[in-house]
Chain A
Amino acid sequence: MRRLFDILLLFKEYLLFVCCILISIILLSSNDSDQIRTIRSLTVATVGFLQDTFGFIPNYFDLKEENKILRERNVMLADEVSRLREGKLENIRLRELLELKERTPYKYVSANVVAKNLQLLRNTITLDVGEDDGVKANMPILTDAGLVGKVIATSSRYAVGQILLNNDFRASAKVQRGRVDGIVLWQGGEHLLLKNVAKTLDVQPGDLVMTSEYSSIFPPGIKIGVVSKTGQAPGALFQTVEITPTVDFSRLEEVFVVTYFPDTSRIAVQQRIPK
């Protein structure tokens, strides 16, 4: 403080001169004569010219503030873009589901997957529809990509679905090209297996596997997967057929529960035959 005072004292003549000139300028600017108006307009023009000429030199403090505003806007826009992208993807998925709904004769209940597990041996998904929506046990669950699984438990507002990637899951299936029947099941990993396919039957990689009309739970003709590999173990009666599911379970978000009721009279007559 003392040092500052000494500096001020050292330059007191200059400070006084500047103060006096400033007071004079203030007094002059308070006038409203022609001369002052001209000087004002000249000053404005000069300042404008200088700002225009030296505008390319960035002002550090303005830049800092501008940077802060831009960062905030960037976060807002990124958030908006993310939500829009999400909306777009949802739109695409829903359109595909709607297309599926329109081309098949069954009644569908649309549902969101609110929980799922894919790491266990008995993997399931939880849907936000239940008995109040007409969903019952054993109803098939599918998407536009194909079969997802079936409902195994329901409450008034929720349902639990057993997906293809579940040790207990079984479905009668048919290879579309060769009309070869088999049972689809899962024994771990990313692929399904088509069991009970005799070695002599024609199954090739790339063949489409669908639900068959023998199933008492699933309507026929729903895609299950594509044959990815076939093999014949020595001494075995059946060949091994590996299927890649058409549904990507890791991205499963919206599904349909098909309110499909199998023909009970057919089941009844089948059960009368002793096995």
Chain B
Amino acid sequence: MRRTAEYILLSLFLILLQTSVVNFLSIATIVPDLLIVWIVYIAIRQGQFVGTIAGFVIGLLLDLISGKDGMLGLAAMAKTVCGFTAGYFYNENKTVQTLGGYRFILAIAIASLLHNVIYFLIFLQGSEIQWWGALLWHGVPTTVYTTVFGLLPMFAFARKYLS
């Protein structure tokens, strides 16, 4: 129960962070997605079921808070896929090893890439921008940036529990 409350509070904090401060970390409009890192973390920690719920709830909250472009449900869908995908990296007996190793980074990279594919596929419908072009020039860099950002908790975990 306490852990759930912690997750909720931390999620709210990260959503606020994502929609405000993180924008200052942008490199040529490319912004890392802290929420993907967080969802992948939850999925690896708690399993696919919780990861999927976390992805959906966080995405929905982000949709409601940001309210951008009248696309309620888009972030919820993309982040649900993130949580579900990251859940495949869950191993109850190797949680620490996963979080402190390359599998965590791999999970972030795959989840983030899928997230961006879905996001751009829907978001760019009806516009003149080709979705695969946007994915290549915006989605992939975002994935890379998010994955690099994921190195921080990975190293922190590795240092704390594996050294």
Contacts and interface: CB of A to CB of B under 8 A. Distances in A.
Contacts of B72: 27-28, 30-31
Contacts of B81: 21
A7 interface: no
A267 interface: no
A24 B79 CA distance: 10
Contacts of A33: 69-71
- Tell me the dominant secondary structure on chain A's binding face: helix
B80 A17 contact: yes
A98 interface: no
B124 interface: yes
B105 interface: no
Interface residues of B, number: 27
A37 interface: yes
Contacts of B76: 20, 23-24, 27
B20 interface: no
Interface in B82-116: 84, 87
Contacts of A24: 56, 59, 73-74, 76-77, 80
Interface string A25-64: 1111011111111110010000000000000000000000
Nearest to A28: B73
Given A24-B76, A28-B73, A16 B52 contact: yes
Contacts of A17: 52, 80, 84
Contact of A35 (B56, B71, B80): B71
B126 A37 contact: yes
A129 B72 CA distance: 86
B125 A26 contact: no
B7 interface: no
Nearest to A27: B73
Contacts of B73: 23-28, 30-31
A12 interface: yes
Contacts of A12: 49
A39 B122 contact: yes
B80 A21 contact: yes
Among A20, A21, A31: residue with most chain B CB under 10 A: A20
Contacts of A27: 60, 63, 72-73, 76
B126 A35 contact: yes
A13 interface: yes
B77 A21 contact: yes
Contacts of B63: 27
Contact of B52 (A20, A26, A35): A20
A126 B35 CA distance: 100
Contacts of B125: 34-36, 38-39, 42
B127 interface: yes
Given A13-B87, A17-B80, A21-B80, A31 B71 contact: yes
The 3 closest A-B pairs by CB, nearest first: A27-B73, A38-B126, A24-B77
Interface of B: 48-49, 52-53, 55-56, 59-60, 63, 69-74, 76-77, 80-81, 84, 87, 122-127
29 contacts: A13-B49, A13-B52, A16-B53, A17-B52, A17-B84, A20-B56, A20-B76, A20-B77, A21-B77, A23-B56, A25-B77, A26-B73, A27-B63, A28-B71, A28-B73, A28-B77, A30-B72, A31-B72, A33-B69, A33-B71, A34-B126, A34-B127, A35-B69, A35-B127, A37-B126, A38-B125, A38-B126, A39-B126, A42-B125
Interface of A: 12-13, 16-17, 20-21, 23-28, 30-39, 42
Given A17-B84, A20-B76, 14 more contacts: A16-B52, A16-B53, A20-B52, A20-B56, A20-B80, A21-B80, A21-B81, A23-B73, A25-B73, A27-B63, A27-B73, A33-B69, A34-B127, A35-B122
